């Protein structure tokens, strides 16, 4: 019987990577959008997130215009984004600094918002036990004639955020880079991960190398408060769960 995975209990926090926001070059050489050199909105967004920006700042960043131009747009709309969303391209281009291209971009921004509101949120599958994980991984790995290493990225509620192939090898092995696994987890703000790879031979017993790489990944993940819940080995014969068989280091 498949053992159950417990909730991770790790807060979903987002930390800034070291050095983010400390630009040594002008914005226009870092970001493709032609920012004004004295515009600090982009750096502020990177350092503190979008929620910290004022209406003027967020409009300037999104539309690629100066804050002065964004201020004029908001004044023309009564400082109401609903009114701005209804503003015609012709009306926007009458405001100094707003080209047709910028007006089109602003209209597109609001259209994205409308489409987001009309689209139901994706229901993410939840992994409660090893069998749940196997059902997701089996179509990806069980029929392969070569080895591949995959990782399931989970949020705090054990819902799958993403699934990533880390490496592809030959019929008897594949190289697994711990840094690629941790980088994938950090990029998607995962709270937990489930490791997996296949054995084309059909033998589900973990090798010494399998056990060693599992320990190496788990030890490295601990520094990031990242939980390694399981390591599944798959083949046409079924699967083995290191967590279920008490083989996790």
Please write the tens of the pLDDT for every residue from 163-179: 999 998 887 778 789 99
What is the reported pLDDT for 1? 52
| Percent of the chain predicted with pLDDT > 70 | 86
> What torsion do the CA atoms of 106, 108, 112, 118 make, to the nearest 10 degrees?
110
177-200: burial string, b at 16+ Cβ within 10 Å, e else? eeeebbebbeeeebbbbbbbbbbb
Helices (H) and strands (E) in the chain, counts: 10, 5
Q: Residue 37: phi, psi to the nearest 5?
A: -60, -35
Give the tens place of pLDDT for each residue, 219-229.
Answer: 999 999 999 99
Q: With contact defined as beta carbons under 8 Å apart, do 134 and 128 qualify?
A: no
DSSP assignment of 118-180 equals HSPPP---B--BHHHHHHHHHHHHTT-SS-EEEEEEE-TTSBEEEEEEEEE--SS-----HHH
Half-sphere exposure (Cβ direction) of 45: Cα atoms closer than 13 Å = 16
Asked whether the predicted pLDDT for residue 42 surpasses 80, the reply is no
DSSP letter (8 states) at residue 4 = B
In this structure, the dihedral spanned by the alpha carbons of residues 185, 189, 192 and 198, taken in order and rounded to 10 degrees, is -30
So what's the pLDDT on residue 2? 66
pLDDT digits over 112-151, tens only? 999 988 888 778 889 999 999 999 999 999 889 999 999 9
Q: Which CATH architecture fits 130-241? A: 3-Layer(aba) Sandwich (3.40)
Phi, psi of 154 (to 5 degrees): -120, 150
Question: CATH top-level class for 27-118?
Answer: mainly alpha
- Per-residue model confidence (pLDDT) at position 7: 65
In this prediction, residue 240 carries a pLDDT of 96
Name the phi and psi angles at 152, rounded to 5. Answer: -95, 130
- Provide CATH 3.40.140.10 ranges for the chain: 130-241
At a CB cut-off of 8 Å and minimum separation 6, what does 168 contact? 146, 147, 148, 174
Mean pLDDT of the chain: 84
What mean pLDDT do residues 71-83 have?
93
Percentage of residues of the chain with pLDDT beyond 90: 59
What is the bridge-based pairing of β-strands 148-154 and 160-168? Answer: antiparallel
Residue 150: CB atoms within 10 Å: 22
Domain boundaries for CATH 1.10.150 within the chain:
27-118
Q: For residue 104, what are the CA distances in angstroms to 18, 45, 174?
A: 36, 23, 48
Q: Mean pLDDT, to the nearest integer, of 48-76?
A: 88
Residue 34 confidence (pLDDT) above 90: no
Tell me the backbone φ, ψ of residue 94, rounded to 5 degrees. -75, -15
């Amino acid at each position: 019987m498949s053992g159950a995975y417990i909730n991770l209990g790790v807060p979903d926090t987002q930390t800034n990577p070291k050095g983010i926001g400390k630009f040594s070059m002008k914005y226009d050489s870092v970001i493709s959008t032609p920012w004004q050199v004295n515009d600090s909105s982009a750096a502020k967004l990177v350092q503190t997130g979008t929620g910290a920006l004022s209406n003027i700042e967020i409009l300037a960043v999104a539309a690629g215009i100066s804050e002065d131009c964004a201020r004029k747009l908001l004044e023309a709309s009564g400082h109401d984004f609903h009114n701005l969303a209804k503003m015609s391209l012709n009306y926007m281009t009458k405001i100094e600094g707003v080209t047709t291209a910028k007006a089109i971009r602003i209209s597109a921004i609001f259209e994205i918002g409308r489409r987001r509101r009309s689209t139901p949120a994706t229901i993410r599958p939840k992994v409660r036990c090893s069998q749940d994980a196997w059902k997701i991984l089996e179509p990806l790995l069980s029929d392969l004639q070569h080895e591949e290493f995959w990782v399931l990225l989970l949020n705090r509620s054990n819902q799958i955020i993403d699934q990533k192939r880390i490496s592809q090898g030959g019929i008897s092995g594949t190289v697994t880079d711990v840094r690629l696994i941790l980088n994938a987890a950090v990029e998607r703000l995962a709270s937990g991960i489930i490791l997996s790879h296949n054995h084309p031979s059909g033998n589900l017993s973990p090798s010494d190398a399998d056990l060693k790489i599992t320990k190496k990944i788990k030890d490295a993940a601990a520094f990031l408060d990242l939980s390694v819940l399981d390591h599944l080995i798959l083949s046409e014969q079924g699967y083995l769960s290191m967590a279920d068989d008490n083989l996790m280091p």
